[in-house]
Amino acid sequence: MNEDPIRADGNRFQAVLAGLAAGLAILVVLLAWQNLSLKRRLAAMQPAAPAPAFRPGDVLEPFDVLDAEGAAVTVPGGSGAGTLLLAFTSTCPACRATLPAWSESARHAREAGLAVVGVRLDAAAGGHAEPLPPDLGFAVYLPDPAAPGPLARIRSIPTTVLLDAAGVVQAEWTGALDATRAAELNEALARVGG
């Protein structure tokens, strides 16, 4: 008996298709494994997020910053409801993007009876400093190079630190303040000042 040639071609075609499907399945598994391996390697290459300079509950002993004339101003000052400490450099894009949110938060802080202290870290280091907008809404100081105090712990800018009247850290925000984080800051200011 002779086999039907069409059926024989169909069986060969099915065998070829099954072989191709098996080959593709093996390739999918290999590509998935390679993708996972590359993701792990990329994650290992990413720098770790900087640890916060201050944690809630830390106590900042009073330290001095310098005004434009070089006179010392003590932070936290010991009077009022607390202090809003803003650390930045004038050349940092994230810092510049945060300045408007800080200006608004400075208004809320003053209304709540808090002192607002901006500390410009680049000018004290003798680095290149860009001019700041004239209407920031808060005073800008320089760290005392002889005794930077807790400012030496700051590794990431911009850094926003909320202190109560005793110098206890209530919260810290590192990086640019988007609308959500600025709202969190303003709510925290109301709690500390209230």
For 151-193, how does the pLDDT look when each residue is reduced to its tens digit (9 = 90+)? 988 888 999 999 998 899 999 999 998 999 999 999 998 888 7
**Residue 194 vs residues 106, 112, 190: alpha-carbon distances, Å:** 15, 7, 6
What CATH number has the domain spanning 63-193? 3.40.30.10
Cα–Cα distance, 154 to 187 (Å, whole number): 24
Hey, where are the domains in the chain?
1-46, 63-193
**What confidence score (pLDDT) does residue 171 get?**
94
What residue ranges in 35-107 does DSSP mark as E strands? 63-66, 72-75, 82-88
Give the H/E segment covering residue 159: strand 159-164
Q: Which range has the worst mean pLDDT, 40-44, 101-105, 158-162?
A: 40-44
pLDDT of residue 135: 85
Cβ contacts of 113 within 8 Å, gap of 6 or more: 80, 81, 82, 193
